[in-house]
Amino acid sequence: MAAPPLLLLTDIRHGFGNTRLLEGASLSVAPGERLALVGRNGSGKSTLLKVAAGIIEAEGGTRFVQPGATMRYLEQEPDLSAFPDVMAYVQAGLGPADDPYRARYLLEQLGMTGGEKPAALSGGETRRAALARALAPSPDILLLDEPTNHLDLPAIEWLESELASLDSALVLISHDRRFLERLSRAMVWLDRGTTRRLERGFAHFEEWRDQVLEDEEREAHKLARKIVREEHWLRYGVTARRKRNVRRLENLHTLRAKRRERVTAPGRVTMAAAEAAGSGNLVIAADGISKAFGERFVVRDFSTRIIRGDRIGIVGPNGAGKTTLLNMLTGVLAPDAGEVRLGTGLEMVGLDQRRASLDPTITLSEALTEGRGDQVHVNGLPRHVIGYMKDFLFTPEQARTPLLALSGGERGRLMLARAFARPSNLLVLDEPTNDLDLETLDLLQELVAEYAGTVILVSHDRDFLDRAVTSVIAWEGEGRWQEYAGGYSDMVAQRGHGVQARAAEAAAKPAAAPKAERAAPPPPKRVRMNAKEQHELKTLPARMEALGKEIATLDAKVADGGFYARDPAGFAKATEALAAAQAALAAAEERWLELEMLREEAG
């Protein structure tokens, strides 16, 4: 006989103003259960979890909690302002029978001492403190709303192990697929105000969801055909039988009302990145680059070659220097030592993880059009802003909504919409998956995988990395970075473990090198190349630079709209010269790469 539920929500109804989030939602949590609560951003997942936690009272429905059952809730934006330090905040969540030393253990595992002051905490540190407070008592039920937000890979993998070892029942909201796959044993899907349950883990969610939506589509099609038959009968049936006509007319009105009331299946994001003209074959060449802040190396003697079409993921713990490395590779930040050379014809578009380029006072429409009318140019063609908004799941009514009123997920979709509207052949994405729901993540993964240009991204999402990148640059400690072919799982298979926390680096950190030694470039490697090859390698960069300038000049000349009309023969000659210069540049880049590989192998 199954154990009675510790928590039971039945027919929960709730909304805010005219927006109805929950219309008959239910949730049942038995001892030791592992539930994934899934649904689109804005579908009401957090609201349902707050009702379950007793933080808000639903407008309708019933909530039952077994007498004596303990429950802890991890909110998305915890408030620590009433406590003198983090340790006091975590210990305040303990009961009389709880182990007081567990609070210190959890904080240490999450990279904190407990002495931190709430006013000085970053968003990530605040979330870690809240996690420690929720986990410390080992409650009967843990309600966790986005527990992996602002956590780096070592913390996420530790949290997976910690939660798997608990006896507590879990209800998890997360956009981290790998996290849900490893922890969930059943799913509750919140969709259009109601809930559906599947007694299987998250790995089966997408197949199940698609089947449900297909079944609904078939039912809607049957309903539409029935309406057509009824209309046909009304127009052409026997009109003398008035009572029967009235009944059938009433039936038709009922069917139409049902169709109007039917909330259609949620839309899907339509993404397509506007692509600029192709870049050169060599996109980025980094040779022995180093960067230090104070006495600590962030990047030490790192070299890589990024070729057109590569999709590179950068992984490491918080504070390791992922964004610094990204900025060095893209020319935003100069290295202390070594050299970074960018290829020709690059059109770079970036996505900032802090969404810093968004002015909160402007409207959604103004953010997409940059304040110029009601048109957005995508792939060189104008589109009405409302139509483009719909591609990213915004409603027409949101066009005049100020950005400060958008949710985190909506702000993330807006940043993607802005980035993908600009022509590019190099996408630079710093934590692009933050706050995106599962459907939007699916489309972003497809976009990155199919993008014709080059992609460099920083992410803590293991599933996203596995689906999207061709190689991973991983932090190895002490400023060292190593590139591995394949996605995150391939990297783990090659090195034997995932990303480790920076605490491991600190434990074995050698004495810092003197500043003068750090600033000096690494000593040149011994080479065994013949004199001709050495001369060719030395002179090729100047030739590639000259070809790049020639291509830019010819590009501008050919782009002149009146050139062909004025001088058809000159236009043909310039076009041929442009093609020849582009071919010469590609050949020079290939030869330079070949010689560089020879130099590295012989060194």
Over the stretch 425-458, which tens digit does the pLDDT of each residue have? 898 988 888 767 777 787 787 777 777 788 999 9
426 to 51, 278, 455: CA distances (angstroms):
45, 10, 6
Task: Kindly state whether residues 70 and 200 are assigned to the same domain.
Answer: yes
pLDDT band with cut points at 50, 70 and 90 for residue 159: very high
Residue 260's pLDDT is 46
pLDDT, one tens digit per residue, over 396-416 is 888 888 887 777 667 777 888
| CATH number of the structural domain spanning residue 113 | 3.40.50.300
Please check whether residue 384 lies inside any domain of the structure: yes
Task: Kindly state whether residues 490 and 536 are assigned to the same domain.
Answer: no
Residue 316 is labelled as binding a ligand = yes
Residue 562's pLDDT is 76
pLDDT at residue 83 above 90? yes
Task: Kindly state whether residues 255 and 177 are assigned to the same domain.
Answer: no
pLDDT, one tens digit per residue, over 237-291 is 444 444 444 555 565 555 545 544 444 445 555 555 554 455 568 889 999 999 9
Residue 39 is labelled as binding a ligand = yes
Residue 43 is labelled as binding a ligand = yes
Domain boundary among 479, 509, 539: 509
Task: Kindly state whether residues 289 and 380 are assigned to the same domain.
Answer: yes
Residue 579's pLDDT is 78
Residue 498 is labelled as binding a ligand = no
Residue 65's pLDDT is 94
In sequence order, the β-bridge partners of residue 384 are 375
Beta carbons of 467 and 445 less than 8 angstroms apart: yes
Residue 251's pLDDT is 56
Q: Bigger pLDDT: 598 or 212?
A: 212
Please check whether residue 43 lies inside any domain of the structure: yes
Residue 520's pLDDT is 43
Query: Phi and psi of 239, rounded to 5°?
Result: -85, -10
Task: Kindly state whether residues 364 and 381 are assigned to the same domain.
Answer: yes
Task: Kindly state whether residues 140 and 248 are assigned to the same domain.
Answer: no
pLDDT at residue 206 above 90? no
- Work out the average pLDDT over 224-235: 61
Residue 81 is labelled as binding a ligand = no
Task: Kindly state whether residues 242 and 168 are assigned to the same domain.
Answer: no
Give residue 144's domain range: 7-207
pLDDT band with cut points at 50, 70 and 90 for residue 11: very high
How many C-beta atoms lie closer than 10 Å to residue 296's C-beta?
15
Query: Phi and psi of 339, rounded to 5°?
Result: -145, 140
> Taking all residues of the chain, what is their mean pLDDT, rounded to a whole number?
80
Please check whether residue 516 lies inside any domain of the structure: no
Residue 303 is labelled as binding a ligand = no
Residue 222 is labelled as binding a ligand = no
Query: Which two tokens mark 342?
Result: 């960018």
pLDDT, one tens digit per residue, over 528-564 is 667 777 778 788 888 888 888 888 888 788 777 777 7
Residue 95 is labelled as binding a ligand = no
In this structure, of 6-10, 16-20, 46-50, 245-249, the range with the lowest mean pLDDT score is 245-249
| CATH number of the structural domain spanning residue 544 | 1.10.287.380
Residue 31 is labelled as binding a ligand = no
Please check whether residue 424 lies inside any domain of the structure: yes
**Amino acid in the structure at residue 554:** L
How many domains, in total, are found in the chain?
4
Residue 42 is labelled as binding a ligand = yes
Residue 448's pLDDT is 77
Task: Kindly state whether residues 462 and 505 are assigned to the same domain.
Answer: yes
Beta carbons of 321 and 273 less than 8 angstroms apart: no
pLDDT, one tens digit per residue, over 454-487 is 899 998 899 888 888 888 999 998 899 999 988 8
Question: What does the alpha-carbon distance between residue 230 and residue 405 come to, in Å, rounded to a whole number?
Answer: 45
Residue 28 is labelled as binding a ligand = no
How many C-beta atoms lie closer than 10 Å to residue 325's C-beta?
27
Task: Kindly state whether residues 476 and 443 are assigned to the same domain.
Answer: yes
Residue 350 is labelled as binding a ligand = no
Please check whether residue 276 lies inside any domain of the structure: no
Task: Kindly state whether residues 444 and 497 are assigned to the same domain.
Answer: yes
Task: Kindly state whether residues 336 and 476 are assigned to the same domain.
Answer: yes
How many residues are listed for the chain in this entry?
603
- Whole-model pTM: value is 0.69
pLDDT at residue 521 above 50? no
Task: Kindly state whether residues 294 and 373 are assigned to the same domain.
Answer: yes
Residue 321 is labelled as binding a ligand = yes
Beta carbons of 460 and 156 less than 8 angstroms apart: yes
pLDDT at residue 570 above 80? yes
pLDDT, one tens digit per residue, over 332-381 is 899 999 999 988 888 888 875 555 566 788 888 888 887 778 888 776 67
The residue behind tokens 């506007």 is: 274
Residue 323 is labelled as binding a ligand = yes
Please check whether residue 514 lies inside any domain of the structure: no
Please check whether residue 268 lies inside any domain of the structure: no
- Percent of the residues in the chain that have a pLDDT greater than 90, as a whole number: 28
Residue 318 is labelled as binding a ligand = yes
pLDDT at residue 498 above 70? yes
Please check whether residue 277 lies inside any domain of the structure: no
Residue 425 is labelled as binding a ligand = no
Kindly give the pairing relationship between strand 141-145 and strand 169-173: parallel
